[in-house]
Amino acid sequence: MREGRLTTGTRLPATRRLAEELGVSRGTVKAAYDQLVAEGYLTAQQGSGTRVAPLPALDAEPPEASARARVPRFDLRPGSPDVGAFPAAAWLRALRRVVDAVPSAAYDYGDPRGRIELRTALSGYLGRARGVVAPPERIIVTSGYVQGLALLTRVLGGAEIAMEDPGLPFHREVVRRGGGRVVPAPVDEKGVRVEELGASAAVVVTPAHQYPTGGTLHPSRRRALTDWARARGALVVEDDYDGEFRYDRQPVGALQGMAPGQVVYLGTASKTLGPALRLGWMVLPADLVDAVADAKLHSDHHTESLGQLALAELIGTHAYDRHVRASRLRYRRRRDRLVERLGARRRVRGIAAGLHALVEVEDEAAVLERAAAAGLAVGRLGEHWHTPGAEGRPQGLVVGYGTPRERAYPEALEALGKVLDAGL
């Protein structure tokens, strides 16, 4: 109990059963229990048995660490959807149909590329919804975007990989830990500046909704990027971040459709359904499929199969499309409310798509301090630069509007508005 192996609330065996297991008298066990109760290690109540009592931690967490770990009152950090809107009923129906229909072989080890049912369903869906050229034999199912990026980095074997600046620091660390050499790929209002890519073997981009600035890769930059890749024999790694959620016009097609031989397309169900499912996919140029499949095999053998089959069922019955459309309408309403509350007094960027917006501020540190005091968690632009703290960089809040539940969102938005208004 002192070491934490028996935690608070753990129920101990009855004295008779423990005495039989240990080969001692029941009276000996009862005396030991009584002593531990007297010393405060156990509690004993009629009808609920003997349980481990609440014990003070031996190595108490410092107060400041405890404060950092505290759950915020309002969470407007980017990167997550409204998981409360997960289509549980549709998912359960799909899972039941799958369990009733699949052969017993589906419970065995599987193809490292993923279930053919899901790869076939994704081939059709990605073609019609995102304009991706995706034959099933060129799709590999992963346990999310991070695994796809890590597998590709391993296959590229220590190559120089350009990554958007600003961009997500965690993804840069994934590449570094996979052996890749990360260099910055500067981004402006039109997207990645192709002329500054140099001799990198690959570049990772978010064309549909750049993270964190929220811009969409300009058509001229799309052409320049695919021309650069063809001329140098390089790869473009397309993170189709927020690709399904475009609000002011029809969704912009994936970059991969312009150059299937040069672009690795990565997508996931994390934003459309939920991160807990751990389902993602890669659409690869033909010459990379075998190498990535081998890396996947030696990483985790294969992604779990029942979730793959359930997602294939959702896509095949168009329940997935219906859920995405409903989510798009809900998130657009949230986007509109954010712009209405903040846009009159602050410049709000990146609002044409996605689940986050960039709100420009003059002093990130001061705003974040006020936000923390109000129990409000938001992202900040400053942490996304390759060299944080450099002088002259734009400042802003990266505000996610996917995370709060529907009932909490208006209050969270009002709290953010008050924090920002206090600085004007």
pLDDT computed for residue 280 by the predictor: 97
pLDDT computed for residue 4 by the predictor: 81
At 67, the pLDDT band (50, 70, 90 cuts) reads very low
pLDDT computed for residue 68 by the predictor: 46
Mean of the pLDDT values across residues 128-154? Answer: 97
Predicted confidence (pLDDT) at residue 61 exceeds the cutoff of 60: no
Q: With 0.75 as the threshold, say if the pTM is over it.
A: yes
CB 344 within 8 A of CB 424: no
Is the pLDDT higher at 100 or at 56?
Answer: 100
Predicted confidence (pLDDT) at residue 79 exceeds the cutoff of 80: yes
Of 107, 135, 395, 412, whose CA–CA distance to 265 is shortest?
Answer: 135
At 48, the pLDDT band (50, 70, 90 cuts) reads confident
pLDDT in tens, 337-361: 999 999 988 999 999 999 999 999 9
Predicted confidence (pLDDT) at residue 59 exceeds the cutoff of 50: no
Question: What share of the chain in percent tops pLDDT 70?
Answer: 96
| Separation CA 100–CA 60 (nearest Å) | 50
| CA atoms within 13 Å, Cβ hemisphere of 107 | 7
Domains and CATH numbers, the chain: 1-60 (1.10.10.10), 69-85+321-421 (3.90.1150.10), 88-318 (3.40.640.10)
Mean of the pLDDT values across residues 279-288? Answer: 98
Mean of the pLDDT values across residues 188-204? Answer: 95
Predicted confidence (pLDDT) at residue 65 exceeds the cutoff of 90: no
Q: Which residue has the tokens 């120089």?
A: 160
Residues 6+ apart with CB under 8 A from 396: 349, 358, 359, 360, 361, 364, 380, 381
Question: What share of the chain in percent tops pLDDT 90?
Answer: 83
pLDDT in tens, 104-114: 999 999 999 99
| Separation CA 275–CA 88 (nearest Å) | 14
**Whole-Å CA distances, 44 to 29, 152, 388:** 14, 56, 55
pLDDT computed for residue 178 by the predictor: 95
At 307, the pLDDT band (50, 70, 90 cuts) reads very high
Is the pLDDT higher at 423 or at 75?
Answer: 75
Pairing of strands 202-205, 235-239: parallel
Residues 6+ apart with CB under 8 A from 168: 211, 212, 384
| Separation CA 78–CA 206 (nearest Å) | 15
pLDDT in tens, 9-19: 899 999 999 99
pLDDT computed for residue 93 by the predictor: 97
**Mean pLDDT across the chain:** 92
